[in-house]
């Protein structure tokens, strides 16, 4: 831990203030040595004061020369005038920005110190005869110190001193680390990226953890690893940052030995360690490092052998150790068993402009006149930090004309320094993977991944493996199913192709630039070097193109994107007397203009033929058929095709013929063993016979109005989707389809019979037979039994994995959830469905009375009904297994008394039953009831028997506006966890509520007449959520500060509440505090002790005049809402210490004129609302943030430090100028 040189004029990191007689030789001695072990330079009077000096002078100087103070309050601390004078000096220094004090309550309570009561009061009483002014200073210093966030021994690890000291040391280390460690101002956007890595490292866990940082060259992996290392290395017993592992390891033996030696020397802090061999290095590392908690960074690793030599196994390291590995190749991490792998995130535009400006201008915004040029540079760099730094340094100090010239050059000549770094990953690839990479860079970028695989496999590559390798090496990415790569990697790939013949594109292996291709084809310059062509044909005629292809004798890949279809070209034009190269493996020509393929084309190598929207009428000229032994993918969708014979394509996998409006006939082989998908929708096909198709997954015949016959194979084991809408089929037998998920037979008006084998129902999730008007017979065969269901006209069923009904004893029939209890006044439910276990939710809007037959469903467990019903059957008690009963929006006035006999009922929900006037008086006999919910009911009180519900966990009484009181013995609900009361007329709560020892949530919403809370509310020891709104209370019981598990405390619209309990800071677990529209003038100072507070809402506290000075001690606070605090004049400077603050709302703080100067230290701040304040100047430090600022009238977006401003007459303009592309 560095010390004095790191920050302003401090000789010591920590000053210890304590009463020597109490703790000098015990607690303080242990604490002092623990701090020394962490290299924290600490002042302790008996160790540091030189002989011969006056102690008081030296002491006061040492206080001023210390950054942090630890005040150890013990029994006799307050009896020592020496200690108290020392404390006054410490608290005076603490009031400045440069010092921070922390209290430690050793064997006294914080409130004893704060109030000078108890043992502290007894000790302080020894100063009764002292000067009153002096004692008042001492009292104030003690009160102020006790209100600070600190540590209490008895509340930490059951009072274990060793663990207590460890917590203090860790806290101080983190505080000093945040001061010592400053991210290089040029490392823009590093904080967010660091936090992601730090979260994965989990430095507080006692395991050994390896994580990887993976990404393309120049992406910032090393910078990120270095920033993380610098921030957390002090937490470890040894640390080593090993750079350039790839480069140094090229000489395998000497390189790895030198790296092993570096790790040993760094971690053990020894020089002269020798390593004779890699094996020797392994043994020494295992033997000597295993006893130390280590942080190790291995930067730029490219082979797993390097990891085996430098971090072979987790058992080499002590528990708590962390190893960070950066690499371009994910497979290296996978092979070494690294589970946590993080992709480096490139810079956002706002981050990129900030970084570029720091290198180009030495400031955070562009110089006047360079705004647009800077944006062009950033656009070219595409978020790559390396390119941004190189170009920023290169353009620094150059004229505008030189900038323009440099940008023009970049359009044709890539940046050499960037390409050199990126090409390292390419050079490591196997030869076939290099070819795949070049194909993606030049031809396939932006293609769907599945399409690219098909293209590459057509050309003979093992595409899936190859693409995975490229992805692992950070050369490509898979973005939502599409192949992508960074612009500079694409540029690098294209440069590799061009540089062999820079001025002769016709000799390139791949052609992708339209004007170059048109020039080559128009001038008949084709050569056998060309293997891949992809271009948009807009000007060149098809005849010229076909003629020019003849010289490209090695052409394998041809992808023509037709720019326009000439209306003058007749659809029946004959194929010209030219031919495609017979080497073609992938032929994709959208809107192919000829009636057929050339007769001379020998397609022996063709794997993919894709000609959608073409004018093809027949596949081959003259109606010839050819063997296409390698053809796997065929797409002639939306073409003029009339017939197609696929009897000579044994390896066909995908057939797309949808939208072929003239297609009437298709023939398949008797055995299509590889066929996976068939699309024939919206064609005029009349019959289709499928033989053996064991791999068929999708058969789409939707919208085929002429289809009269479909012959399916007896078994289709992989078929998942079968769509046959709008056909003329009369009888359909789909055979055995065990994996069928979707069967769509909509509008099959002629369908009369459907035969299915029971096994096909197990995975069915969508079955639609709507508008099958003639259908009258539905047959399922289940284990030699037949179940017939008829009629099903106009019935749409969707199977769901929920409790439903079993219509067959063996449960092979799928379970359907009933959506309507009655349909067209005919019941769908009968007592014959004896195994029905769930009904609902059911819309009973047109139903007044629930049929008594429902009471015959003796196995029913869940009954959920909505709307209409006025009366519940009196025999409801026969549903003896009922567990959940829910009535919503019904007209029920009362429940039958025998409902209390439902011994298994767990959930009773009566929602929006606005006519319900009372509950059964014996409701307490529902011995299993866990939840009781009433909303919008007319009840005035609850039956006393409700207090007998020993298992009730949730009681919600919502919008019961006539409810006047709660049962007196409500505290007997010993299992109650949640109590919600809203819009009731109650004036107070029964005192017995304080006996609810398991209550976790208490919500009292819009109880306008409620005047007070029980004084012993603090006895609710498990309460973690307390909400109180629109009540008449003036104050809160002091006992509320005893709620040690309270996490959420919301007081909304309590407009008569004038003060908060003084000891509110003792709510140790509080995370959310909302005081919306309270009448308070200030907050208790103790609020600054709420270490875990995440959000503080003070919106519309119209009388709030000031905030506690030490509010910045709320180290976990993420949101501070001060909207409409119209009397607030100042934000305390300490707020700048809130490292986690993300949102700061100051709207309508109309007397607020300035922000703290160091607001830029709020590194997590993302949103700042300054509307309708008097603030007209932003502090310069705000340019360090990446924050959206909302000013008067319109948003100000801060891109790094680059402000886009939409308001006139606003002095914000002095801090940033609007660019041309204002947001």
* Residue 451 and residue 366 in one domain: no
pLDDT for the residue 263: 94
pLDDT for the residue 672: 92
pLDDT for the residue 179: 58
Q: Is residue 1174 part of a domain?
A: no
* Residue 353 and residue 445 in one domain: no
| Highest mean pLDDT (candidates 217-221, 1185-1189, 1192-1196) | 217-221
Q: Determine the Cα–Cα distance for residues 374 and 420; give it in Å rounded to an integer.
A: 24
Q: Is residue 700 part of a domain?
A: no
CATH number at residue 477: 1.10.10.10
> Is the pLDDT confidence value at 852 over 70?
no
* Residue 141 and residue 267 in one domain: no
Minimum mean pLDDT range among 645-659, 993-1007, 1201-1215: 1201-1215
User: Based on C-alpha coordinates, what's the Rg of the chain?
Assistant: 39
- The position carrying tokens 């429902």 is 854
End-to-end CA distance of the chain: 45
* Residue 207 and residue 335 in one domain: yes
Q: Tell me which of 601, 630, 662 is where a domain ends.
A: 601
Task: Give residue 550's pLDDT band: very low, low, confident or very high (50, 70, 90).
Answer: confident
Q: Determine the Cα–Cα distance for residues 1080 and 1097; give it in Å rounded to an integer.
A: 13
* Residue 592 and residue 514 in one domain: yes
Q: Is residue 608 part of a domain?
A: no
* Residue 139 and residue 33 in one domain: yes
* Average pLDDT value for residue range 840-847: 60
H or E element, residue 608: strand 608-610
**DSSP 8-class letter at 222:** H
Q: Is residue 1148 part of a domain?
A: no
pLDDT tens profile 861-893: 888 887 778 888 888 888 888 999 998 888 888
Provide the sign of the torsion angle of the four alpha carbons 217, 221, 226, 229, taken in this order: negative
Q: Is residue 627 part of a domain?
A: no
Provide the sign of the torsion angle of the four alpha carbons 1042, 1043, 1044, 1048, taken in this order: negative
> Is the pLDDT confidence value at 9 over 80?
no
* Residue 42 and residue 154 in one domain: yes
Strands 826-827 and 822-823, by their bridges, are antiparallel
Q: What percent of the chain has pLDDT over 90?
A: 50
More confident residue, 968 or 783: 968
Q: What percent of the chain has pLDDT over 70?
A: 86
Tell me how crowded residue 850 is: count the other CB atoms within 10 A of its CB.
23
Report the mean per-residue pLDDT for the chain. 84
> Is the pLDDT confidence value at 815 over 70?
no
Task: Give residue 1212's pLDDT band: very low, low, confident or very high (50, 70, 90).
Answer: very low
* Average pLDDT value for residue range 650-673: 95
Task: Give residue 192's pLDDT band: very low, low, confident or very high (50, 70, 90).
Answer: confident
What six digits make up the tokens of 743?
């069967």
Is there a contact between 197 and 211 (Cβ–Cβ < 8 Å)?
A: yes
Residue 86 annotated as catalytic: yes
* Residue 526 and residue 567 in one domain: yes
pLDDT for the residue 1213: 36
pLDDT tens profile 47-88: 444 343 344 677 888 898 899 999 999 999 999 988 999 999
Q: Determine the Cα–Cα distance for residues 553 and 1091; give it in Å rounded to an integer.
A: 75
Q: Tell me which of 601, 628, 647 is where a domain ends.
A: 601
pLDDT for the residue 768: 79
Partners of 102 in beta bridges = 70
More confident residue, 534 or 777: 534
Q: Determine the Cα–Cα distance for residues 706 and 727; give it in Å rounded to an integer.
A: 6
pLDDT for the residue 721: 96
Strands 785-788 and 777-782, by their bridges, are antiparallel
pLDDT for the residue 6: 34
pLDDT tens profile 611-643: 999 999 999 887 788 999 999 999 999 999 999
Q: Is residue 675 part of a domain?
A: no
Q: Is residue 323 part of a domain?
A: yes
In 3D space, the residue among 549, 624, 638 whose CA is nearest the CA of residue 590 turns out to be 638
More confident residue, 548 or 984: 984
pLDDT for the residue 792: 31
User: Which structural domain, as residue segments, surrounds residue 376?
Assistant: 349-413
pLDDT tens profile 425-470: 888 899 999 999 999 999 899 889 988 998 898 888 999 999 999 9
pLDDT for the residue 822: 33
More confident residue, 372 or 762: 372
* Residue 85 and residue 133 in one domain: yes
Q: For residue 62, what are the contacts with CB-CB under 8 A and spacing of at least 6?
A: 11, 12, 15, 43, 48, 49
* Residue 149 and residue 84 in one domain: yes
* Average pLDDT value for residue range 95-104: 85
pLDDT tens profile 243-263: 999 989 887 778 899 999 999
pLDDT tens profile 552-597: 999 999 999 875 445 444 444 565 567 789 999 999 999 999 999 9
> Is the pLDDT confidence value at 399 over 50?
yes
CATH number at residue 151: 3.40.50.10140
CATH number at residue 335: 3.40.50.300
Q: Is residue 591 part of a domain?
A: yes
634 φ, ψ (degrees, to nearest 5): -130, 125
* Average pLDDT value for residue range 787-798: 31
Minimum mean pLDDT range among 36-45, 495-504, 949-958: 36-45
Minimum mean pLDDT range among 277-286, 804-813, 981-990, 1026-1035: 804-813
pLDDT for the residue 818: 32
In 3D space, the residue among 1140, 1104, 1108, 1184 whose CA is nearest the CA of residue 144 turns out to be 1108
**DSSP 8-class letter at 575:** P
What six digits make up the tokens of 174?
């983190």
> Is the pLDDT confidence value at 280 over 50?
yes
Minimum mean pLDDT range among 412-426, 501-515, 827-841, 1171-1185: 827-841
pLDDT for the residue 53: 36
> Is the pLDDT confidence value at 795 over 80?
no
Catalytically annotated residue among 64, 86, 109, 1066: 86
The number of folded domains in the chain is 5
pTM of this prediction exceeds 0.85: no
* Residue 160 and residue 32 in one domain: yes
Cis status, amide bond into 841, omega within 30 of 0? yes
Q: Tell me which of 601, 632, 662 is where a domain ends.
A: 601
* Average pLDDT value for residue range 126-135: 85
* Residue 353 and residue 248 in one domain: no
Is there a contact between 1149 and 1122 (Cβ–Cβ < 8 Å)?
A: yes
Is there a contact between 922 and 946 (Cβ–Cβ < 8 Å)?
A: no
pLDDT tens profile 298-314: 999 999 999 999 999 99
């Amino acid at each position: 831990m560095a010390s004095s040189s790191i920050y302003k004029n401090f000789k010591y990191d920590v000053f210890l203030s304590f009463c020597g007689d109490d703790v000098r030789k015990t607690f303080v001695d242990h604490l002092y040595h623990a701090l020394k072990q962490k290299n924290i330079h600490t002042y302790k009077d008996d160790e540091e004061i030189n002989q011969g000096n006056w102690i008081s002078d030296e002491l006061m100087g040492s206080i001023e020369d210390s950054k942090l103070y630890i005040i150890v309050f013990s029994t006799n601390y307050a009896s020592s005038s020496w200690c108290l004078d020392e404390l006054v000096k410490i608290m005076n220094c603490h009031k400045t920005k440069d010092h921070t004090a922390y209290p430690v309550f050793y064997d006294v309570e914080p409130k004893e110190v704060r109030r000078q009561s108890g043992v502290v009061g007894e000790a302080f009483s020894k100063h009764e005869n002292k000067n009153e002014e002096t004692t008042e200073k001492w009292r104030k210093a003690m009160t102020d110190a006790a209100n600070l966030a600190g540590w209490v021994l008895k509340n930490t690890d059951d009072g274990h001193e060793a663990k207590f000291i460890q917590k203090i040391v860790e806290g101080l280390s983190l505080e000093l680390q945040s001061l010592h460690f400053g991210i290089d101002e040029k490392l823009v956007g590093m904080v967010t990226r660091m936090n992601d890595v730090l979260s994965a490292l989990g430095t507080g866990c006692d395991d050994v953890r390896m994580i990887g940082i993976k990404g393309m060259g120049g992406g910032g992996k090393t910078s990120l690893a270095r920033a993380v290392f610098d921030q957390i290395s002090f937490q470890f017993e040894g640390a080593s940052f090993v750079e350039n592992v790839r480069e140094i390891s090229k000489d395998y033996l000497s390189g790895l030995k030198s790296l092993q030696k570096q790790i040993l020397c760094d971690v053990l802090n020894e020089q002269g360690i020798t390593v004779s061999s890699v094996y020797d290095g392994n043994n020494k590392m295992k033997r000597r490092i295993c006893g130390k908690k280590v942080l190790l960074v291995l930067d730029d690793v490219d082979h797993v052998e390097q990891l085996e030599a430098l971090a072979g196994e987790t058992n080499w390291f002590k528990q708590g150790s962390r190893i960070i590995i950066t690499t371009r190749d994910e497979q290296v991490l996978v092979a070494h068993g690294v589970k946590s792998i993080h992709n480096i995130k490139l810079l956002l535009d706002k981050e990129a402009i900030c970084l570029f400006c720091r290198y180009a201008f030495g400031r955070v915004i562009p110089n006047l006149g360079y705004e647009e040029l800077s944006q062009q540079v950033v656009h070219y760099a595409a978020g790559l930090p390396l390119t941004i730094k190189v170009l920023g340094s290169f353009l620094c100090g150059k004229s505008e004309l030189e900038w323009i010239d440099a940008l023009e050059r970049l359009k044709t000549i890539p940046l050499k320094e960037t390409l050199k770094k990126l090409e390292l990953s390419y050079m490591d690839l196997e030869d076939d993977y290099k070819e795949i990479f070049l194909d993606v860079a030049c031809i396939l970028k932006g293609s769907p991944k599945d399409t690219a695989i098909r293209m590459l496999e057509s050309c003979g590559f093992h595409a899936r493996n190859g693409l995975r390798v490229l992805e692992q090496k950070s050369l490509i990415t898979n973005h939502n199913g599409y192949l992508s790569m960074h612009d500079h990697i694409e540029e690098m790939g294209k440069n590799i192709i061009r540089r062999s013949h820079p001025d002769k594109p016709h000799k390139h292996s791949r052609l992708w630039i339209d004007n170059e291709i048109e020039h080559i084809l128009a001038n008949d310059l084709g050569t056998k070097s060309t293997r891949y062509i992809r271009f948009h044909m807009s000007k060149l005629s098809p005849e010229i193109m076909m003629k020019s292809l003849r010289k490209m004798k090695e052409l394998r890949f041809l992808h023509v994107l037709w720019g326009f279809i000439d209306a003058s070209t007749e659809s029946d034009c004959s194929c010209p007397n030219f031919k495609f190269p017979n080497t073609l493996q992938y032929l994709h020509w959208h809107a192919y203009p000829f009636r057929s393929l050339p007769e001379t084309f020998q397609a022996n190598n063709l794997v993919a033929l894709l000609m959608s929207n073409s004018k093809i009428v027949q596949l081959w000229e003259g109606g010839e058929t050819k063997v296409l032994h390698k053809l796997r993918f065929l797409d002639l969708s939306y073409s003029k095709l009339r017939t197609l014979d696929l009897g000579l394509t044994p390896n066909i996998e995908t057939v797309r013929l949808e939208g072929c409006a003239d297609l009437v006939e298709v023939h398949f082989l008797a055995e299509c063993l590889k066929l996976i998908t068939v699309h024939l929708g919206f064609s005029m096909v009349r019959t289709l016979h499928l033989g053996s198709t064991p791999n068929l997954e999708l058969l789409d015949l939707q919208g085929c109005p002429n289809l009269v016959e479909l012959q399916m194979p007896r078994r289709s084991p992989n078929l998942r989707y079968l769509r046959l809408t709008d056909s003329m089929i009369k009888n359909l037998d789909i055979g055995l389809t065990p994996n069928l998920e979707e069967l769509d037979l909509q509008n099959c008006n002629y369908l009369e019979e459907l035969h299915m084998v029971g096994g096909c129902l197990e995975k069915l999730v969508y079955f639609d037979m709507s508008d099958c008007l003639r259908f009258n017979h539905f047959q399922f065969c289940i284990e030699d039994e037949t179940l017939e269901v008829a009629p099903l006209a106009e019935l749409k069923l969707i199977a769901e994995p929920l409790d439903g009904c079993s219509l067959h004893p063996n449960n092979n029939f799928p379970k359907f959830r009933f959506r309507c209890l009655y349909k067209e006044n005919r019941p769908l439910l009968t007592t014959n469905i004896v195994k029905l276990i769930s009904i609902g939710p059911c819309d009973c809007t047109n139903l007044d009375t629930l049929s008594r037959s429902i009471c015959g469903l003796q196995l029913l467990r869940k009954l959920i009904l909505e709307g209409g019903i006025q009366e519940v059957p009196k025999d409801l008690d026969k549903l003896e297994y009922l567990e959940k009963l829910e009535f919503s929006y019904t007209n029920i006035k009362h429940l039958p008394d025998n409902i209390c006999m439902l011994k298994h009922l767990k959930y009773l929900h009566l929602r929006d039953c606005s006519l319900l006037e009372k509950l059964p008086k014996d409701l307490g006999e529902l011995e299993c009831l866990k939840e009781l919910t009433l909303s919008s009911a007319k009840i005035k009180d609850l039956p006393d028997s409700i207090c007998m519900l020993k298992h009730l966990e949730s009681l919600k009484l919502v919008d019961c506006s006539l409810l006047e009181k709660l049962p007196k013995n409500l505290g007997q609900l010993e299992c109650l966890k949640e109590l919600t009361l809203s819009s009731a007329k109650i004036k107070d709560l029964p005192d017995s509520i304080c006996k609810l020892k398991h209550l976790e949530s208490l919500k009292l919403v819009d109880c306008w007449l409620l005047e007070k809370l029980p004084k012993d509310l603090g006895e609710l020891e498990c309460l973690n959520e307390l909400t109180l709104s629109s009540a008449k209370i003036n104050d809160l019981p002091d006992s509320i500060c005893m709620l040690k598990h309270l996490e959420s405390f919301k007081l909304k619209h309590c407009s008569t509440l004038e003060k908060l309990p003084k000891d509110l800071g003792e709510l140790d677990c509080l995370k959310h505090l909302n005081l919306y529209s309270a009448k308070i003038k200030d907050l208790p100072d103790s609020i600054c002790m709420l270490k875990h507070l995440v959000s503080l809402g003070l919106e519309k506290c119209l009388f709030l005049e000031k905030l506690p000075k030490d509010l910045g001690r709320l180290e976990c606070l993420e949101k501070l809402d001060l909207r409409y605090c119209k009397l607030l004049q100042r934000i305390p400077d300490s707020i700048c210490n809130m490292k986690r603050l993300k949102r700061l709302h100051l709207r309508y703080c109309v007397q607020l004129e300035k922000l703290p100067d160091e607001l830029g230290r709020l590194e997590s701040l993302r949103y700042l609302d300054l509307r309708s304040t008097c603030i007209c100047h932003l502090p310069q430090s705000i340019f360090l943030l990446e924050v959206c600022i909302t000013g008067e009238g319109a948003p100000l977006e801060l891109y790094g430090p680059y402000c886009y401003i939409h308001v006139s007459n606003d002095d914000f303009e002095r801090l940033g100028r609007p660019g041309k592309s204002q947001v």
